[in-house]
Chains A and B, each alone.
Chain A
Amino acid sequence: MKLITLKVDNQPVQVEAGTTILEAAKKVGVEIPTLCYMEKINAIGACRICVVEIKGTKVLQPACVTPVAPDMEVYTSTTAVRKARNLTLELILSNHPFECLTCIRNQNCELQSLAETFGIREVRFPGENPPYKADYSSPSVVREPEKCILCRRCAAVCDKVQTVNAIALQERGFNTTVAPAHHRPLAESVCINCGQCTLVCPTAALHENDEIERVWAALNDPKKHVIVQTAPATRVSLGEEFGMTSGSIVTGQMVSALKMLGFDKVFDTDFTADLTIIEEGNELLHRVKTGGTLPMVTSCSPGWIKFIEHFYPDLLPNLSTCKSPQQMFGALAKTYYAEKMGLDPADIFVVSYMPCTAKKYEARRPEMQSSGYPDIDVVLTTREVGRMLRQAGINFTALPARDYDDPLGISTGAGVIFGATGGVMEAALRTAYELVTGQELSSLDFNDVRGLQGVKEAAVEVGSLTVKVAVAHGLGNARSLMEAVKSGSADYHFIEIMCCPGGCIGGGGQPIPTNLEIRADRIKAIYMADELMVMRKSHLNPAVQQLYKEFLGEPLGHKSHELLHTHYQARDKFLIPAT
Chain B
Amino acid sequence: MASLVRSFGDRSLRSLVDLDRGLVSREIYVNEDLYKMELEQVFTRAWLFIGHEAQVPNPGDFVVSRMGEEEVILVRDRKNQLHVFLNTCRHRGMKVCRYDDGNTLVFTCPFHGWSYDTDGRLVGVPYFDAAYKGDMDKSEWGLPEVAQMCNFYGSIWATWDKGAPSFESYLGPYSDTVRRAFQSSDGEDNGVELFNPVYKWRIPCNWKFPGFSFDGDRAHAAMTHRSINVAAIGPQGDAGGGSRAPIRAPFPYTDYEMTVPELGHGGHNAIYEQPGLAEYRDTWFTEPGVDDYYRAMREKKREKYRGQYIVGETALIWPNVNIQPHRILIWHPHSVGVTESWRAYPIDRMAPQHVKDAQRRYMMRYGGPCGLTESDDMENWNYASAASFGTVAKRYPYNFMMGAGHAFVDEQRAPGMTLNYEVAEENQRSRLRRWLEFMEAGSWEDIYPVNPVSPSAGEATKSKSKVES
Do A and B originate from a single complex? Answer: no
Interface residues in chain B, defined as those with a beta carbon under 8 Å from any beta carbon in chain A: none
Interface residues in chain A, defined as those with a beta carbon under 8 Å from any beta carbon in chain B: none
